[in-house]
């Protein structure tokens, strides 16, 4: 059973994820059947960081479900001038039916959820990107028919997207391998939690510095930017530290014959991925982006359709 909020895939039970994917598939196949699902409901969308996919897909999703969404740049609302997160959460709870937030500190989303009486959805923090991870496993299920026994290899920075993919594997029956350069490993707590989840689910989690070991036999080869939002000052250093870590055709050749390439986008062709892989026949990047819409509609309907 879903909790009030969607903060982390780690908090979900495997059957919750299955139910979400079934609903998302129905919404994707028959969008007209869900035109009144959130009739009259309003989602407030707080953004401390830039966004194309998250902003547009959440707003379009709310409209398609019969509701509405309000874009709130943190620069424009009082939160950006120091109004407490707790007051922001309590006040928004009096006006709207749900909050989606993209923040720097993960604690900000946790605090919003703690003080809001309405559902809060994590639209990316420095630590996690659960909507992305869920949409990616949904995309993987479409491409391969079933998820059980598949292997996902993440190559690059041990960042928010990597963390959510690590949490998603055990919930979906997928083995996860994460390869990073030394010094860019995933968060130690996330590794420990994901390892425990994997042990309980009977899946595996490998964290390594070997790209080749991670990619061997993988069904998905995934990468993300080397410098995430908020790390712009480190861009030059990271380009140096990640030299040789570009996902190329040669690396992809070590994966399973049916392997697909995934990236949450935005992508930097020539940095974390070569243009020939990103725009090549194995790439499913636009399917991933589309599925953000369907999976998030399922999340919104599940959390906001209760009352």
Residues serving a catalytic function are: 102, 129, 132, 224, 264, 292
- Binding part of the chain for ligand NVA, among 105-113, 212-220, 223-231, 234-242 by CB under 6 A, reads 223-231
Tokens for 86, please give them: 């707790």
Q: Which of ligand CP, ligand NVA, none sits in contact with 166, Cβ below 5 to 8 A by type? A: none
The span from the CA of 96 to the CA of 263, in Å, is 33
CB of 271 to ligand NVA, least distance (A): 13
Q: Which is nearer to ligand NVA, 37 or 246 (CB)?
A: 246
DSSP letter (8 states) at residue 219: S
Binding stretches for ligand CP (CB under 6 A): 51-54, 124, 132, 264-265
The span from the CA of 279 to the CA of 276, in Å, is 5
| Residue 225 lies near ligand NVA (rule: CB under 6 A) | yes
Q: Using only the alpha carbons of the chain, give its radius of gyration.
A: 19
Task: Identify the three-state secondary structure at position 241.
Answer: helix
CB of 189 to ligand NVA, least distance (A): 18
**Residues 94-153, interacting with ligand NVA (CB under 6 A):** 124
| Residue 229 lies near ligand NVA (rule: CB under 6 A) | yes
Tokens for 173, please give them: 């029956």
Q: Which of ligand NVA, ligand CP, none sits in contact with 52, Cβ below 5 to 8 A by type? A: ligand CP
CB of 168 to ligand NVA, least distance (A): 15
Please state the separation of Cα 161 from the chain's center in Å.
6
What order of strands is seen across the sheet that includes strand 120-122? 68-73, 42-47, 98-102, 120-122
Could you count the other beta carbons within 10 Å of the beta carbon of residue 204? Answer: 15
CB of 160 to ligand NVA, least distance (A): 5
Tokens 């819409």 correspond to 293
| Residue 224 lies near ligand NVA (rule: CB under 6 A) | yes
85 touches 111 (CB < 8 A): yes
Nearest residue to the partner ligand CP, using Cβ: 54
The span from the CA of 154 to the CA of 175, in Å, is 11
| Residue 291 lies near ligand NVA (rule: CB under 6 A) | no
| Residue 93 lies near ligand NVA (rule: CB under 6 A) | no
Q: Which is nearer to ligand CP, 198 or 293 (CB)?
A: 293
Go through 123-148 and write b for each residue having 16 or more CB atoms within 10 A of its CB, e for each that does not.
bbbbbbbbbbbbbbbbbbbebbeebe
Q: Which is nearer to ligand NVA, 42 or 229 (CB)?
A: 229
The binding site for ligand NVA (CB under 6 A) comprises 124, 159-161, 224-225, 228-229, 264
């Amino acid at each position: 059973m879903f909790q009030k909020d969607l903060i982390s895939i780690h908090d979900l039970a495997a059957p919750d994820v299955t139910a979400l994917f079934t609903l998302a598939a129905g919404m994707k196949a028959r969008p007209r059947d869900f035109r009144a699902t959130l009739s009259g409901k309003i989602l407030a969308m707080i953004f401390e960081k830039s966004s194309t996919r998250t902003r547009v897909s959440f707003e379009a999703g709310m409209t398609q479900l019969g509701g509405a969404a309000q874009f709130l740049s943190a620069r424009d609302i009082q939160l950006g001038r120091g109004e407490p997160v707790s007051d922001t959460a309590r006040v928004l709870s009096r006006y709207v039916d749900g909050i989606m937030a993209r923040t720097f500190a993960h604690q900000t989303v946790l605090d919003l959820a703690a003080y809001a009486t309405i559902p809060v959805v994590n639209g990316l923090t420095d630590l996690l990107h659960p909507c992305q991870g869920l949409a990616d496993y949904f995309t993987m299920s479409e491409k391969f028919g079933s998820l059980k026994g598949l292997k996902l290899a993440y190559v690059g920075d041990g960042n928010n997207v990597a963390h959510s993919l690590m949490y998603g594997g055990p919930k979906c029956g997928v083995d996860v391998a994460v390869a990073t350069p030394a010094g860019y490993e995933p968060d130690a707590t996330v590794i420990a939690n994901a390892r425990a989840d994997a042990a309980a689910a009977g899946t595996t989690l490998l964290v390594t510095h070997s790209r080749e070991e991670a990619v061997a036999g993988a069904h998905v080869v995934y990468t993300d930017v080397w410098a995430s939002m908020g790390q712009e000052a480190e861009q030059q250093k990271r380009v140096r530290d990640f030299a040789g870590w570009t996902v190329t055709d040669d690396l992809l050749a070590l994966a399973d014959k049916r392997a697909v390439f995934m990236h949450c986008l935005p992508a930097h062709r020539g940095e974390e991925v070569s243009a020939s892989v990103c725009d090549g026949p194995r790439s499913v990047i636009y399917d991933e982006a589309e599925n953000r819409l369907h999976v998030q509609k399922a999340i919104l309907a599940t959390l906001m359709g209760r009352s």
